[in-house]
Amino acid sequence: MSIAMPVLGLGTFRLKDQVVIDSVRQGLELGYRHIDTAQIYGNEAEVGEALAQSGVARDELFITTKIWLENLAPEQLLTSLRDSLQKLRVDQVDLTLIHWPNPQTTPSLADSMKALLQAREEGLTRAIGISNFTVAQMQQAIDAVGAENIASQQIELHPFLQNRTVADFSRRNGIPVTAYMPLAYGKVMSDPVIGRIAAQHGVTAAQVALAWSLQMGYSVIPSSTKRENLASNLQATSLRLTEQDMADIAALDRNERLVSPEFAPEWD
């Protein structure tokens, strides 16, 4: 099921309390309409508060949340999503992802995916998807609910970790990719190649990194607590890199993974 998801969204990972309220509020004021959160971030209620205070109509917003590991059993998944909706102060989110594949065998990935599909059928979410899945796990998810029902695969992806195996498999199966950590925790700002490209275009290194992801066909969800950076990141949608720029950034791939908790799968 394809959905119209804004290609540049606002991430809220690691943002808490008033910090996340301010970030989301300012983002909405600047024109962001895609807000990404998760159960484990511990900020859904604050995101909901910022959304409610904003005055932006619900049908203008695209809200994503993610189901945490302890809630992957079918009954718990549905209960936890209803709890997320209450915190976010909405009747339905636009996209719900399984945040990480279950490192245990029970509940099975197939059972969790089918429960996610049930959540969509019950109207709790407009679309469903996955996050941090390997190729093998993506195939299991496809086998369980069909590729046409997987609206997004969200993975760590930036110039230093281009995750081509997973991204290519997603593309072949018609599953859109959302890149999280697109600025590599700010490391793109100090890269000389990206800096040179930015100088040539008269833009920031962050804008170059985001434009690269967008030109690759990915959605991006950078986060920031500074209004000027939030505004600057939005401008990446109007930057067009040359073929040489894209080739130079492609050469920066060094499989530098920044997020790999102990329960992570064995990466492709």
Q: Phi and psi at residue 70, in whole multiples of 5°?
A: -70, -10
* Residues tagged active-site: 41
Give yes or no for residue 1 having a pLDDT over 60: no
Residues tagged in the binding site annotation for substrate: 99
- The rounded distance, in Å, linking the Cα atoms of 183 and 258 is 11
The reply to whether 261 falls in a domain is no
The reply to whether 82 falls in a domain is yes
Is residue 184 a contact partner of residue 258, using CB atoms and an 8 Å limit?
Answer: yes
The reply to whether 255 falls in a domain is no
The reply to whether 263 falls in a domain is no
DSSP class of residue 217 equals: T
pLDDT in tens, 54-77: 999 999 999 999 999 999 999 999
Residues 6 or more apart whose CB falls under 8 angstroms from that of 77 comprise 67, 71, 112, 115, 116, 119
The reply to whether 29 falls in a domain is yes
The reply to whether 158 falls in a domain is yes
| Domain total of the chain | 1
The CATH number of whichever domain residue 98 belongs to comes to 3.20.20.100
Q: Quote the pLDDT of residue 3.
A: 73
Q: Quote the pLDDT of residue 202.
A: 98
The reply to whether 258 falls in a domain is no
In a 13 Å sphere around the CA of 249, the CA atoms on its Cβ side amount to: 29
Joined together, the tokens standing for residue 79 give: 């209960």
Q: What angle do CA 60, 229, 175 make, to 5 degrees?
A: 50
Mean pLDDT of the chain: 97
The reply to whether 228 falls in a domain is yes
SS3 category, 130: strand
Give yes or no for residue 261 having a pLDDT over 90: yes
Residue span of the structural domain in which 129 resides: 10-250
pLDDT in tens, 187-215: 999 999 999 999 999 999 999 999 999 99
- The rounded distance, in Å, linking the Cα atoms of 167 and 209 is 17
Give yes or no for residue 2 having a pLDDT over 80: no
pLDDT in tens, 92-149: 999 999 999 999 999 999 999 999 999 999 999 999 999 999 999 999 999 999 999 9
Give the global pTM: 0.97
Q: Quote the pLDDT of residue 31.
A: 97
- Percent of the chain with pLDDT strictly greater than 70: 99
